[in-house]
């Protein structure tokens, strides 16, 4: 049995994970990053458009906070949003000092572009490679501090003994031999779960692993029914076209050539919040004013120079994937499953209700995004709450007595699971890709932009059916080295659990709020539903739903228009 020991284990090495690790290390903790990829391969790198902070003299953190609360359709916890917006400028300045090459204004200061749902241009950016540029810099700091990185280690379970987190079980892809990784605290930072949908803007690695193993170990997931559909993703692949395209002045057109957003958001047009724009696009498409099930994103009027400097990545993607050069013609886009507002329930320091467990970034729910996240707020979330989780975890481990022994039961359980799967080779069971494909299509169909009881009922039945079929899933690769077949089965098991919580939450929430639109309950209902959905996993794998109050400080719910 291989045993590694550290004070703090950070699972996932995207922006939230690395930022957390840096801060835990600065606070004196022995910290290690555990990631199923290499840090530089993390999906944070795919974030294109930018990161928000009220840097401008005429801007204010209160304005950023208000936009965020309004964007969340009043479901965000306002104490968390205040911290978020207030600490943002400091974090941006720190990223700049670490070496982030933010695009500049003419006088050499950090430039900011307008983004959806924001009352002020407060999105800092590096062309349309913002995530990648920041990911590089944060990884450089990890190297500088000499933080231990276990790369290509997949976490199969969270170890909890006597009600406290004690570490994780992980499978190094290179050997396939499970290892016990002991830690007094674990910070989950595994990112999103987009892969429960097909297609999605998310990377193939975004399978909600951290949410799944935390949920399995007893940590509740909050507000899982809220899934953001990004207004501009490519049709078949789902690949993202940045909101920056609209921030820089791009138009959305329907088949009649109309800038239809004027009808839905007369003040903000294309720069209304994402839920509003995606709903508008889907309405246009449903009412027959789409083209091939898409609308058009048109940036031609920005001119080649601006496109080449500020939107070069998406220009290249559109050429590579759809043979469309955006300098000369509009590109077909449609709403695509993009971001999970929901996640592991935490307080403002990233602490989950399970002692020793922390979470940050997309896999966490603090909650600052409520029922709809604003563009440019997710990168900020990873940095602000990654940092705060690092501080809190380092403080927490100081008051945990000593490294306690881990019973081998946890390890044995995962070894048994693997052995059972290994024995399915050649059986009549189904391949994971078949079950995953059906789940993805069902989620898009039934848990998409527009939802209704009938479809949600059938979604629930389908999830239960798929979970049943997963019991007989068939593994083909029985080797030890880099066994992706085994990895995909672990991932799929987790995704089915998490999707179950999403469907159950959506079925129960009988109102329309943010990204959750019920055709059968079209209005927001603050009296009954201004509350968080808290899902806990029951013994049989189904979710137990409870509800928690939303923290209000300054902003009373108002009618939301853009």
Partner 1 sequence: MDVRLKVKRQDGTQPDSSHYDEYTVEMPEGATMLDALLQVRDYEDGGLALRYSCRSSICGSCAMRVNGRARLACKTKASDMANGDEPILVEPLGNMPVIKDLVTDMEVHWDKVRRITPWLENSGPEPEREHIVMHETMVDVSNALSCIQCGACVSDCTVLEVDKHFIGPAAFAKAYRFVGDPRDDTTMDRLKALSSAKGGIWDCTRCNICVEVCPKDIRPMDRIMQLREQVVNAGVEGGIGARHGTAFAGSVRRTGRLDEVRLLPESVGMFNAPRLLKELPGAFRMMRAGKLPWKDTLPLFSKPIAGIAHVRRLFDNARSEKKEAKR
C-alpha closest to that of 163 among 429, 352, 335, 425: 352
For residues 442 and 436, give the distance between their C-alpha atoms in angstroms, rounded to a whole number: 10
User: Residue 291 pairs with which residues in a beta bridge?
Assistant: 294
Q: Does 481 bind partner 1 (CB under 8 A)?
A: yes
For residues 180 and 409, give the distance between their C-alpha atoms in angstroms, rounded to a whole number: 11
C-alpha closest to that of 456 among 443, 467, 469: 443
- Closer residue to partner 1, CB minimum distance, 235 or 518: 235
**Cβ-based neighbour number of residue 403 at 10 Å:** 15
- Closer residue to partner 1, CB minimum distance, 305 or 549: 305
- Closer residue to partner 1, CB minimum distance, 226 or 339: 339
Please identify which of the residues 113, 246, 274, 279 carries the catalytic annotation.
274
Q: CA angle at residue 376 from 48 to 203, to 5 degrees?
A: 45
- Closer residue to partner 1, CB minimum distance, 403 or 474: 474
- Closer residue to partner 1, CB minimum distance, 105 or 544: 105
The correct pick among 133, 170, 179, 550 for binding partner 1 (CB under 8 A) is 133
Strands 31-35 and 148-151: parallel
Nearest-approach distance from CB 503 to partner 1, in angstroms: 24
The correct pick among 1, 3, 204, 461 for binding partner 1 (CB under 8 A) is 204
- Closer residue to partner 1, CB minimum distance, 40 or 452: 40
Q: What's the first-to-final CA gap in the chain, in angstroms? A: 58
- Closer residue to partner 1, CB minimum distance, 140 or 347: 140
Site stretch for partner 1 (CB under 8 A), options 133-141, 251-259, 337-345, 540-548: 133-141
Site string for partner 1, 227-266 (x = CB under 8 A): ---------xx-xx--------------------------
SS3 for 11-47 is: ECCCHHHHHHHHHHHHCCCCEEEEECCCHHHCHHHHC
Burial class (CB in 10 A: 0-12, 13-18, 19+), 471: exposed
Nearest-approach distance from CB 112 to partner 1, in angstroms: 12
Sheet holding 123-124, edge to edge: 51-52, 123-124, 112-113
Distance of CA 304 to the CA centre of its chain: 32
Nearest-approach distance from CB 317 to partner 1, in angstroms: 6
Nearest-approach distance from CB 492 to partner 1, in angstroms: 12
Q: Does 155 bind partner 1 (CB under 8 A)?
A: no
Q: Does 180 bind partner 1 (CB under 8 A)?
A: no
Q: Does 438 bind partner 1 (CB under 8 A)?
A: no
C-alpha closest to that of 99 among 125, 49, 138, 59: 138
Site string for partner 1, 284-323 (x = CB under 8 A): -------------------------x---x--xx--xxxx
Are the beta carbons of 314 and 189 closer than 8 angstroms?
Answer: no
Nearest-approach distance from CB 357 to partner 1, in angstroms: 26
Site stretch for partner 1 (CB under 8 A), options 33-41, 217-225, 362-370, 553-561: 33-41
Residue 408 in tokens: 């081998």
Cα–Cα distances (Å) from 525 to 259, 277, 528, 554, in that order, read: 31, 21, 6, 20
The correct pick among 68, 72, 78, 132 for binding partner 1 (CB under 8 A) is 132
C-alpha closest to that of 75 among 509, 370, 377: 370
Q: Does 555 bind partner 1 (CB under 8 A)?
A: no
Q: Does 442 bind partner 1 (CB under 8 A)?
A: no
C-alpha closest to that of 2 among 144, 111, 153: 153
Residues in the chain: 562
Nearest-approach distance from CB 122 to partner 1, in angstroms: 14
| Cis peptide bond N-terminal to 278, omega within 30 | no
> Active site includes 246?
no
Residue 171 in tokens: 């499978």
The correct pick among 62, 347, 430, 477 for binding partner 1 (CB under 8 A) is 477
Q: Does 469 bind partner 1 (CB under 8 A)?
A: no
| Residues classed as catalytic | 274
The site for partner 1 (CB under 8 A) is made up of 37-38, 40-43, 45-46, 92-93, 96-99, 101-111, 126-127, 129, 132-133, 136-137, 140-141, 143-144, 174, 203-205, 236-237, 239-240, 309, 313, 316-317, 320-323, 431-433, 475-477, 479, 481-485
């Amino acid at each position: 049995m291989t045993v590694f020991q550290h004070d703090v284990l950070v699972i996932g090495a995207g922006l939230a994970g690395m930022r957390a690790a840096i801060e835990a290390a600065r606070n004196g903790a022995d910290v290690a990053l555990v990631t199923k990829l290499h840090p530089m391969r993390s999906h944070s790198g795919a974030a294109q458009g930018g990161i928000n902070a009220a840097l401008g003299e005429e801007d204010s953190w209160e304005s950023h906070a208000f936009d965020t609360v309004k964007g969340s359709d009043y479901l965000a916890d306002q104490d968390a949003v205040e911290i978020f917006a207030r600490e943002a400028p400091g974090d941006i300045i720190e990223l700049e000092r670490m070496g982030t090459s933010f695009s500049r204004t003419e006088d050499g200061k950090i430039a900011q572009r307008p983004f959806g749902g924001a009352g002020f241009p407060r999105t800092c950016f590096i062309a349309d490679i913002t995530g990648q540029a920041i990911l590089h810099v944060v990884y450089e700091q990890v190297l500088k501090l000499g933080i231990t990185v276990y790369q290509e280690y997949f976490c199969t379970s969270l170890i909890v003994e006597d009600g406290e987190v004690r570490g994780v079980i992980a499978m190094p892809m290179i050997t396939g031999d499970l290892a016990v990784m002991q830690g007094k605290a674990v910070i989950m930072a595994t990112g999103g779960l987009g892969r429960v949908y097909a297609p999605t803007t998310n990377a193939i690695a975004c399978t909600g692993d951290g949410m799944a193993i935390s949920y399995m170990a007893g940590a509740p997931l909050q507000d899982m029914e809220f899934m953001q559909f990004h207004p501009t993703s490519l049709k078949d692949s789902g690949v993202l076209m940045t909101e920056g395209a609209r921030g820089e002045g791009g138009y959305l057109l329907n088949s009649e050539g109309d800038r239809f957003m004027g009808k839905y958001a007369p003040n903000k047009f294309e720069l209304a919040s994402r839920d509003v724009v995606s709903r508008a696009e889907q309405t246009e498409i449903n009412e027959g004013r789409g083209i091939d099930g898409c609308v058009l994103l048109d940036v031609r009027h920005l001119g080649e120079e601006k496109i080449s400097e500020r939107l070069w990545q998406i220009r290249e993607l559109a050429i590579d994937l759809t043979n469309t050069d955006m300098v000369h013609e509009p590109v077909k886009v449609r709403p695509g499953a993009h971001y999970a507002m929901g996640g592991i329930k935490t307080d403002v320091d990233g602490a989950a209700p399970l002692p020793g467990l922390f979470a940050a970034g997309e896999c966490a729910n603090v909650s600052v995004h409520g029922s709809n996240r604003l563009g440019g707020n997710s990168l900020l979330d990873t940095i602000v709450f990654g940092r705060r989780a690092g501080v809190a975890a380092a403080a927490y481990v100081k008051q945990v007595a000593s490294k306690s022994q881990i019973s081998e039961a946890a390890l044995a359980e995962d070894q048994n699971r693997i052995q059972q799967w290994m024995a399915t080779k050649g059986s009549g069971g189904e391949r994971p890709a078949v079950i995953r494909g059906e789940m993805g299509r069902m989620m898009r169909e039934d848990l998409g932009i527009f939802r209704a009881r009938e479809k949600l009922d059938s979604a629930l039945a389908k999830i239960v059916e798929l979970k049943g079929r997963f019991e007989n899933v068939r593994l083909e690769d029985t080797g030890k080295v880099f066994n992706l077949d085994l990895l995909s089965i672990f991932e799929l098991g987790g995704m089915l659990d998490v999707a179950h919580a999403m469907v159950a939450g959506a079925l129960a929430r009988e109102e329309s709020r943010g990204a959750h639109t019920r055709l059968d309950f079209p209005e927001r209902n603050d009296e009954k539903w201004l509350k968080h959905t808290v899902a806990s996993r029951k013994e049989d794998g189904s979710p137990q739903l409870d509800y928690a109050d939303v923290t209000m400080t300054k902003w009373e719910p108002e009618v939301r228009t853009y």
